[in-house]
Amino acid sequence: MLFQFVADYLKHRLTAKSRHGTHSPFVYKLVDEVIYDFSAKKVYQNIELQRKKLLNDDTLLSITDLGAGSQLNKNKQKKVRELAKNALKTPRLAQLIYRLAENHAAEKLIELGTCLGITTAYLAKAKPKATIVTIEGCPETANVAYQNFVALELKNIELQVGNFNERFPKEVENTELLDLVYIDGNHTKEATLNYFMLCLPKVHEGTLLIFDDIYWSEGMKEAWEEIKAHSQVSVTVDLFWIGLVYFKKDQVKEHFKIKF
Give the model confidence (pLDDT) of 124-169 as tens digits: 999 999 999 999 999 999 999 999 999 999 999 999 999 999 999 9
Say how far apart CA 87 and CA 72 lie, in whole Å: 9
CA distance 243 to 236: 7
Burial of 8 (C-beta count, 10 Å sphere; 0-12/13-18/19+): middle
Query: Residues 199-238: pLDDT tens digits?
Result: 999 999 999 999 999 999 999 999 999 999 999 999 999 9
pLDDT tens for each residue of 7-58: 999 999 999 998 887 889 999 999 999 999 999 999 999 999 999 999 999 9
Q: Which pLDDT does position 112 carry in this prediction?
A: 97
Q: Is 203 within 8 Å of 231 (Cβ atoms)?
A: no
What pLDDT does 250 receive?
85
Residue 71: pLDDT band with limits 50, 70, 90? very low
pLDDT level of residue 75 (50, 70, 90 thresholds):
low
**Helix (H, G, I), strand (E, B), or coil: what is residue 186?**
coil
CA torsion, points 194, 197, 198, 201, in degrees to nearest 10? -170
pTM of full prediction above 0.85: yes
